[in-house]
Structure 1
């Protein structure tokens, strides 16, 4: 009887842990991205949408925040930050290379941190 009770407890703990590990299909994130103008906005949003699993990407020039809705089963925020850095824009975790930044149009040269 004691073994059955212990087995049931272990089963319950295992199932509840697995349920918590599920990825969210509509996770919302906000990330800061360096940018200046409408060209930046279009480039940043296009880079975000190039990552499979991005459902929504809207960049706000007034506060330099990219609002995202993503399927965490298909991508991560880090994947998106890497894609944005490849097109020349810095995020908090991933910085664009000097070459990628220099390739931006002159009006797009934002102040780097």
Structure 2
């Protein structure tokens, strides 16, 4: 009898936890102009540190050739618009949102369109 309750409790808990998470994925077109921004000490580290400050952002993947960011985030803690705004404040475009001019000016020359 205890095993039946344990099984039912586990199933109930699993169902509730699955309903509470709202994991989402989005692909954002951006403007990464150099081939080393992902690993660069200034640009890449700054980008990574500041992007992970966004509450709810779980992970991102940068595709430098396609100039896209695949973002994995919790939709209950942040929105896609908030993520895009944070990207623009780092000096990069995010889909239709243009990079913040003052942030763009602070990027290393290698990260700017020539």
Label 1:95 to 1:30 Cα distance change in 2 as closer, same or farther (>3 A). same
Residue 39 of structure 1: how far off its partner (Å):
2.5
Q: Which runs of 5+ in 2 are unaligned?
A: 1-18
In structure 1, the residue matched to 2:8 is none
Structural RMSD (CA)? 2.2
Structure 1 unaligned segments of length 5 or more: list them: 1-21
CA distance in 2, matches of 1:23, 1:63: 33
Deviation readout 1:39-78 (Å, 9 max, x if unpaired): 2672444333221101111111010110111100000111
Instruction: Measure how far apart 1:31 and its partner are.
Output: 0.6
TM-score w.r.t. length of structure 1: 0.68
Tell me: CA distance 1:77–1:45, structure 2 relative to 1, closer, same or farther (3 Å): farther
Q: Does 1:101 align with 2:104?
A: yes
Runs of 4+ in 1 over 6 A off after TM superposition: none
TM-score, normalized by length of structure 2?
Answer: 0.67
Q: How many residues align?
A: 90
The structure whose Rg is larger is: 1
Note if contact 1:57-1:68 (Cα within 8 Å) is conserved in structure 2: yes
